[in-house]
């Protein structure tokens, strides 16, 4: 697979980076790995998904399929934050549509960013923050 997963224990977030073309099945493999991680499921770490070196290779209609998958894990995702780090206009537009739908329907608080600093700031847990 063309993805890596690392953990920032200090700021309590998981950094998922993808290189190459993205489709529903490839994203599904990464999410299977995330959903098996104690930090993500029990310790409630947030998620930074870095797609700057990847490209979406799926129609926008796949958003519904991804949301259906997220609904099945809603008890883990509700209230959790995710930064989507993207770099092209198409990925910004499609990610923004996705973020609005997921936030409204699943309660997974997703925001789109083009700078890593802002993306990390959104998902980082700071002193005084409460983990979900």
Residue pLDDT, tens place only, 6-15: 999 999 999 9
Residues 6+ apart with CB under 8 A from 90: 56
Tell me, what's the pLDDT at 56?
A: 81
| Greater pLDDT, 55 or 40 | 40
91: confidence class by pLDDT, cuts 50, 70, 90: confident
pLDDT at 27: 84
Domains of the chain by start residue, with CATH: 3-123 (3.30.750.24)
CB 80 within 8 A of CB 48: no
What is the structure's pLDDT at 132? 44
Mean pLDDT of 13-33: 88
């Amino acid at each position: 697979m063309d993805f890596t997963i690392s953990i920032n224990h200090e700021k309590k977030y998981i950094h998922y980076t993808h290189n190459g073309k993205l489709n529903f099945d490839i994203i599904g493999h990464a999410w299977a790995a995330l959903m098996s991680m104690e930090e993500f499921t029990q310790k409630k770490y947030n998620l930074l998904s870095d797609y700057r070196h990847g490209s979406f290779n799926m129609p926008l209609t796949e958003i519904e399929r991804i949301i259906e998958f997220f609904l099945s894990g809603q008890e883990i995702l509700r209230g959790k934050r995710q930064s989507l780090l993207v770099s092209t206009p198409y990925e910004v537009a499609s990610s923004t549509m996705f973020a609005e739908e997921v936030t409204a329907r699943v309660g997974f608080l997703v925001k789109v960013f083009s700078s890593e600093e802002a993306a990390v700031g959104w998902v980082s847990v700071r002193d005084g923050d409460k983990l979900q």
